[in-house]
Structure 1
Amino acid sequence: MAAIVPVQFGVSMSLTVIAVAVGDIARDLDTGTDAASWTVTGAILASAVSTSLGGKLGDIYGHRRAFLAAAVMLVVVTPLSGLAWNIESLIGFRVAAGVANGVATAAGTAMVLLAFPIATRSRAIGWYQSALSGAPAIGLIVGGQIVEQFGWRWVFAFFGVIAVIGLVTSATVVRPMGGGLDVSVDYWGGLTLTAGVALVLVGLTLLGNDGVGTSVSVILMAGGVVFLAAFARIEQRVPEPIISMAYLRKRNFSIPIWVVTLANFSFMGGLVVTPFLFTERLGWGLGAATLLLAVRPITFSSCAFAGGYIHPRLGARMTPVVGSSLLAVGMVFFALSAWQASLGWTVAGLFVVAIGHGIQLPSLTTTASDAVEPEDYGVASGMRGTLTQVGVTTGMQTMVIMIGTDITGNSLASSYLLGASAAIVAVALSLAISPRSS
């Protein structure tokens, strides 16, 4: 596990830093911030659409091979990002990095699942997610200093070194895992799934953009739904589907995935809204706010580690019930802060949402994985990753649109209460999870 973490750790950190450096990138490459923001959005979308297919390829050809292929791609495109000559080339390199991250995420999670027995699997997942979730905080602190002192291009030199270390370590230490399925690749299923997820996420990303009409976003999302419907029909007919429809009928597989999706809607939506709470309601500067916001991923990382030990004690049902309940409470704390301009409620919200989401993620990942056969760990991890990104993108876009351009206490509070509502639905769904593996 220690060998595969550096690869994904570097990608997660670079996403955080580039999000902060969008303004510098726009000025340096002589473009607008709307175009520069696609260096982040493009990587996220590419990661979302590549995880499911990447997971299936790992199940067929081996997760070590898939992971190393992704690591090699990162070693190549990371330094090239620092040498980008225009915004189009930078976006292209970041999209390639997103694809590599999606494949590495599915393969890495599958290898962790295969390396540990059921009795200790939740602890291993807790360690794994704890390590990865600390990356955004480190990215903000370390990478932010690199951007300020040397410029955004040097960020990719730093993360290029991390990518090389990850490749060498994983190639040396990680043993072959998974693979060996004597099946053909469902290319039509992969194509329709990729097109469907991409169109839905692009439509959501453009929703509310002043330069793009709402009708364009709706058309893109409708087209995505058509492709996803075609994907479902293809999967019912082909002999070797990317994801077995039988798994979707198993509540301990499908429900945890939907709980993660709703929880990420709330958690990540709140993440992008909270800087506005600091600057518009509390009167903080963005630099000071960023430092305090780092408390959230640090707390989340610690609680993800603890969540691996909580799962065997509370069980598959009660762990996400408690976690999503805390997430809902934390979002209410943020709403109270928006109304009252209270730093106390804000700090309480930062801690409570991180604790709730942190303790439930290892449990939900473990429960969904226990419901599938070991030879399908890759595609199961990929599907979870894809829907996670759907939740992230939907939450971020919807909650930002709700606060509007004229940011007030009421608009911020309404956005947070929407996040709380999503978490409450996650609580209700969690109650349907079977306490026993199935």
Structure 2
Amino acid sequence: MRKWVPLIAVCLGSFMLLVDVTIVIVAMPDMAGDLDASFADLQWVLDAYSLALAAVLLAVGSLADRFGRRATFVAGTLVFTAASVLCALAPDTATLIAARAVQGIGASAMFATTLALLGHVYEGRDRSVAIGVWGAVSGAAAAVGPIAGGLLTEHFGWEWIFLVNLPIGLVTVALSLRVLDESHGDRAARLDLPGLVTFTAAAGLVTYGLIRAGGDGWGDTVVLTVLAVGAVALAAFVVAERRVAHPMLDLDLFRSPAFSAIMLAGALSQFAAFACFPQVSVWLQSLLGYGPVATGLTLLPMAATSFVVAGVSGRLLHDVHPRGPVGFGIVIIGVGSLLLALLDADSGRWVLVPGLVAIGIGVGLAIPQIAGVALGAVPPHRAGMAGGALNTFRQLGFALGIAIVGVVFRSAVEGRLDGAAGIADPGAAAEAVGAGGAPGIVAAAPPGTADTVRAAIDEAFAAGLDRVFVVCGTVGIIAGVLVLIAVRTPAPAAKPTPASGGLPGREHAGTA
């Protein structure tokens, strides 16, 4: 039993950082009420974490190689845990968003080192068992997140979705220092500071521009300026990566159509599968009147299905090239999102189940296999960079998906509320509805119009959700077809097993 204690330490940290992606979703309406958060604020609460994680994931792999993987993992866990406490104590949304960004930086240091640590500790069959358990725990985090978030929010308050990280983080640090040995990769590795700065600027500015466009419109001067500067920053990133001696992302990898396709598919699959759930959570709580626990249980079919399918497909499709499971899995994600579009103003929560189950099937097929496609599309010595790039693109896909879906949703709701009886300012009403403020709008309606206003909001919200589901479904189907067309190499799936010693740090920065 003692030999598995290092696995427990790593899995605790991984579980904590991954569950924080989904645990926040069901708490959003309560956050909005307590902190007077706008729709855009709620988008940033989600996006700050994913953007920060994506921005530094590749760069922190180099630091871990140089300064030690255990040291990096422990430092990341401490930063994540401290930031979680700051999130819980945040007096306003600006502080909460900043703390979430710091959480993302800590999570990137943990994410970039977890599998490398396991590879250093275990060998042979034990290594396969350890990585399998780690994968199962990572999958379980997605299933547990909505339920845990619902229980904590409903019975203790939304602050506890962050405070619960304090004991877990401290135990993880104590175990790590006691049972994990230090290991290094290429000690000559250097931080690609130009690449890090330009990439972070590009991702942050584009996301900010998209979120702001939802409220101010595409013709707004600030929106256009921010998006233009973001494009310049992206161009600067390309130039920087061409000039630095050790780029965090070798752009020559994109000469491979298969690699380019799988990076894009990784981003779009996250968009298609998960970007709609903040709006779904708000719909369930502010319009249908369910509490956080019931909301978490409503979303459970997707996470539970994906967990089961991932386990079964891993056994049954072991000898099948991952191109098929990934491509068809992402197409099924798209189909599931389109099934969600059956929702209308009179629907109850059970209308979501077929679509959620379909999305879960697609996620269970595609996500565990997608790293194999990415690693198989590059030379073996670039496997680490490919894996890290895939996780970076996946986090970006989620962050940009949240921003784009917000624009689509708000536009559809505002359009439906324009001219509705009892709605004086459709733009402000759409903003409030998106943040969970529908009950307040109905309560403030002019005398005798409450029922009319409620009906208009129900129809507008349903129309916004349907538009979002169609966008997500279309994105998913396009991404899946792209994989099936562009990924043709019939090579076996790459295995995270090195030729000797431990697993290189950057190889395991992103193969999860």
> Partners in 1 of 2:305 and 2:399 — Cα distance?
22
Residue from 228, 244, 247 that aligns with 1:241? 247
CA distance in 1, matches of 2:365, 2:314: 7
1:315 to 312, 316, 321: 321
Counterpart position of 1:81: 87
Cα distance, 1:389 vs structure 2? 2.0
Which deviates the most, 116-125 or 374-383?
A: 116-125
Tell me the equivalent position of 2:147: 141
How many residue pairs match? The answer is 437
Asked if structure 2 preserves the Cα contact closer than 8 Å seen for 1:8 and 1:105, the reply is: yes
What percent identity do the matched residue pairs reach? 27
- The counterpart of 1:92, out of the listed 98, 109, 119, is 98
Partner SS state of residue 354, structure 1: helix
Kept after mapping to 1: 8 A contact 2:261/2:483: yes
Change (3 A) 1:335 1:125: farther
1:270 matched residue in structure 2: 276
User: Equivalent residue for 1:426?
Assistant: 479
Conserved 8 A contact 2:143-2:307: no
Q: Which amino acid aligns with 2:475?
A: A
Q: Aligned partners of 2:284 and 2:27: how far apart in 1? A: 19
For 1:3-402, list aligned pairs within 5 A.
Answer: 3-25=9-31, 28=34, 34-35=40-41, 38-111=44-117, 127-209=133-215, 214-275=220-281, 285=290, 287=292, 288-338=294-344, 341=347, 346-371=352-377, 379-402=385-408
One-letter identity of the residue aligned with 1:327: I
Q: Look up the match of 2:466.
A: 413
Contact 1:247 1:372 in 2 (8 A): yes
The 2-side partners of 1:394 and 1:196 are apart by: 12
Gap change, CA 1:93 and 1:369, over 3 Å in 2:
same
Offset, 1:359: 1.6
TM-score by length of 2: 0.74
Task: Give the aligned residue type for 1:424.
Answer: I
* C-alpha distance after superposition, 1:201-245 (max 9, x if no partner): 222333303599744334323322211211112212222111222
Equivalent residue letter for 1:12: L
**Contact 2:209–2:224 at 8 Å: present in 1 too?**
yes
Q: More deviation in 240-249 or 129-138?
A: 129-138
Instruction: Structure 2 unaligned segments of length 5 or more: list them.
Output: 1-6, 417-459, 495-512
Structure with the larger helix share:
1
> Secondary structure of 1:46's match?
helix
Contact residue 332 and residue 477 of structure 2 kept, 8 A: no
1:29, 1:86 within 8 Å by CA — same for their partners in 2?
yes
Provide the rounded CA distance (Å) in 2 between the counterparts of 1:118 and 1:231: 40
What letter matches 1:429 in structure 2?
A: L
Over 3 Å counting, the alpha-carbon distance change for 1:76 and 1:94 in structure 2 is same
How far has the Cα of 1:360 moved from its partner? Answer: 1.0
Output the aligned Cα RMSD.
Answer: 3.6
**Cα separation, partners in 2 of 1:280 and 1:119, compared to 1, 3 Å:** same
Q: What is the DSSP-based 3-state SS (H/G/I as helix, E as strand, rest coil) of the residue aligned with 1:239?
A: coil
Under a length normalisation based on structure 1, what TM-score does the superposition of the two structures give? Answer: 0.85
Structure 1 stretch displaced more, 42-51 or 122-131: 122-131
Q: Cα distance 1:370–1:163, how it changes in 2: closer, same or farther (>3 A)? A: farther
Bigger CA radius of gyration? 2
Residues 79-99 of structure 1: per-residue CA shift (max 9 Å, x gap): 343344554444333221111
CA distance in 2 between partners of 1:30 and 1:334 (Å)? 30
| Mapped contact 1:19–1:37 kept (Cα < 8 A) | no
Deviation of the 1:263 alpha carbon:
0.9
